[in-house]
Chains A and B, each alone.
Chain A
Amino acid sequence: MSEMWINMGPQHPMTHGLWNLRVKIDGEIVLDVDPEMGYLHRGIEKISEDRHYNEIITLMDRTCYVAGIAWEHLFILAAEQALHVEPPERALWIRMLSEEFQRVASHLMWYAAFVQDIGLMSPFLYGMRDRDLVLDLFQSYTGGRLTYEYMRVGGVRNDLPPGFAEQARKVCDWLLDRFVEYDRLCSGSDIFHRRCDDLGVVKAQDCIRLGITGPMLRSAGVPRDLRKDRPYAAYDRVDFDVATAETADVTGRYVVRMEELRQSVRIIRQALDWLDKNPGPVMADNVPRWMGAPYAPVGREGYLLKREYPKGVGFSAIEEPHGEALAYVVNEGGEHPYRVKLKSPVFVNLSAARHYLVGYRVADIPPIMGSVDICVGEVDR
């Protein structure tokens, strides 16, 4: 068979979203790849320039549909800097709790999709089943399972409901048991190692040169985690370890994510303990009341009140489930932000596709791309 280009996507089981990986193959060997993005471009950054701050939260949920609350968190951190608002402490802990739950849900989703990529069928359903438990928890305090609209400039929308901590602890116990099972199904299998060892290798220097972050970077042995290196929310007050691996291959990324699941559960437990002991407000006092309202309030004469904020810029960085996410919010005093710039970790990890795909086989593409953990929503925005 001579060389040929094939389009893997935009509708292809491997893509886990809507994008197109153009692959040049010779028989089964990959000679060149060219990711084509943009099928899911919704112009979130542009729409944000036309929305009020609390309306943008809705957009943030849609930025990454498997890690919505992490993106809310990212935007809120930057927006609070830009608007000069300080959230109360309890809100910080609830945000951290939410982000860790989101990390568990996102990694479980990744697990389900990844095992499907290497042809393991049953764990797909196990991962989805256990993710549902986390989504149930989300539903109990945010009302949403996928898109939450939970965080607000100056805090979070509401406190945790009574009985939440018990339920969450039960889920944590269940999950820790299941993680052992997951490991047995995957890394306990010889075929898994034959498929995934020494696959899609990106060494540490290459990761840094290519800008790769998140579990991909940590699997190369670089213990870089913004939760540790540049703590936000209350991450400086909980104990957890940064998961790393040395192999820099697909197995390494698997090991890192499985360990992160355990560390997330560890953080969740500490956060639940703290929240039990420290009741308090979850919204800041100095936020104008109408900031929570989706529409501008109407004044006495029936005019819309024009809202003004002091000028400011906000820059935030969080360790999203996929890696380092950055937000830059410029507030020029109007009621809408002047510019919102979001940087997605997957965007960068995907831009290096040529580096970790070329030279492997067609059958290796799904496991490698699976281990990158693609969320097209946040690449295209």
Chain B
Amino acid sequence: MAPLSLYGVANTLVSTLLLHLAAVLPAPLSTLASNSGLITALSVLLFGAILLGASLLNTILLIWFERKMLGRFMDRRGAMHVGYAGLLQNFADGLKLFRKHTFKPRDADGLGFFSAPTAYMVTSIVMFGILPISTGWNSGSLPLSLLLALVVFSFAPLFIFLGAWSSANKYSLIGGMRSAAQMIAYEVPILLAVVAVILLSGSFDLSTIVAEQRNYWFWGPLFLALLVFVAGMLAEMERIPFDLPEAEAELVEGWNTEYGGMLFAFFMLADYARALVGSYLIVLLFLGGWTMPGWVPAPLTNFPLAGILWFQVKTYLVFGVFIWVRASLPRVRTDQLLRVGWMRMIPLALLSIVLAALVVLAKCLPVFGCVPSVGG
């Protein structure tokens, strides 16, 4: 039996359905229904819908997780009333925001104002299609999926700045400027840290990178790169201590000051989608993805969907660290943040590349008896 894959499931569902349809429909339609192109198209659509729905649900669960964790850190309970332990609170909040009037400030530029949240949302959600969360649970093997993911991930400052500028609000503008400066400054160390991973795994394909971690997870040899990557991700996600673009103490709500109702919900959801994606990336690149080390007993790792489960457990642990940081650290200042970004993180990232190269060289030593793998 072929390994379970989401596309396979969707394909089976669609072809079975169309097969039954073809049997009952009249002649011209039945040939159309058995057309393999149509089957593929519908399968892809179904696949995308399932992936999107599951990912958004997961994002909402992540928000719930943060609210509960943060509550505990603050000696309170977090959301409690809607659903069991407040599980449905976010749906209630979303519904409330959905019912709000969508408005545009008088001086705001309509095109930019409305397209920015949408574009931000789209670029954040597309990431779920690129990142594999288990074998067979992505859109197929992309040889350059890591690069694609990073490219899509780095679109965000553009749209944030677009939304901020078109809001015609000074706070938004300052927040947007900060956001753009911060994201660009931290893009560089993130990319350099990723280079170390690429060196060690010899591949741009996330599935291959995970597969390369079957013997040891990369956080061990690439600890420095992990540190740089996590700090960079904190800045990219705009979370405390690096949430200056929306520092509510001085900038009200930063670049999304003027957004309300559903547009704000878009930004909010996309923010958490990015947080989830960032955690995914950390798990994929450094924490072995969906694989588990050999000492974990087999019954825990070989049941169906075990990969997804372990992947999510790791993701939530990583995000838990982010929540912990948020609950216990003050916010830094823009100039300090940029100074740390350009003057500390980049040298550290470069050093981590050197370390990764040394590890690759060490693998070539005859003692280890293995041959370096070049290319994917």
Contacts and interface: CB of A to CB of B under 8 A. Distances in A.
**Are chains A and B touching in the complex at the 8 Å CB cutoff?**
yes
Interface of A: 1, 4, 6, 8, 12-14, 28, 115-122, 124-126, 129, 185-186, 189, 191-192, 194-195, 361-366
Given A185-B328, A365-B250, 4 more contacts: A28-B174, A122-B328, A362-B250, A366-B249
Interface string B314-350: 0000000000001111111111100000000000000
Interface in B222-256: 240-241, 243-244, 247-252
B330 A120 contact: yes
Contacts of A126: 74-75
Task: Specify the main secondary structure of chain B where it touches its partner.
Answer: helix
A186 B329 CA distance: 9
Contact of A14 (B243, B250, B334, B336): B250
B70 interface: yes
A6 B171 CA distance: 8
Interface residues of B, number: 31
A12 B170 CA distance: 13
B244 A363 contact: yes
B174 to A, nearest CB: 7
A118 B249 CA distance: 7
B333 A361 contact: yes
Given A13-B249, A362-B174, A362-B250, A120 B75 contact: no
A119 to B, nearest CB: 3
B249 A119 contact: yes
B170 A6 contact: yes
| Most central of A14, A121, A192 by chain B CB within 10 Å | A121
A129 B73 CA distance: 13
A122 B249 contact: no
B332 to A, nearest CB: 6
Contact of A116 (B241, B243, B249, B333): B249
A195 B252 contact: no
A119 B333 CA distance: 10
A37 to B, nearest CB: 20
Contact of B241 (A1, A13, A28, A119): A119
Contacts, number: 84
Contacts of B251: 362
Contacts of A4: 170
Given A6-B170, A119-B240, A125-B74, A194 B249 contact: no
A1 B171 CA distance: 13
B330 A13 contact: no
Given A8-B250, A13-B248, A117-B249, A195 B330 contact: yes
Contacts of B81: none
Given A122-B73, A122-B74, A129-B75, A13 B252 contact: yes
Contacts of A189: 328-330
Nearest to A129: B75
9 closest A-B pairs (Cβ-Cβ)?
A119-B331, A366-B249, A125-B74, A118-B330, A120-B330, A363-B333, A117-B249, A122-B74, A122-B327
A124 B252 CA distance: 18
Contacts of A364: 333
A192 B330 contact: yes
29 contacts: A1-B177, A6-B171, A13-B248, A28-B335, A116-B249, A119-B243, A119-B249, A119-B329, A119-B330, A121-B70, A121-B74, A121-B240, A122-B73, A122-B328, A124-B74, A125-B75, A126-B74, A191-B241, A191-B332, A192-B330, A194-B332, A195-B332, A361-B334, A361-B335, A362-B174, A362-B251, A363-B247, A363-B334, A365-B250
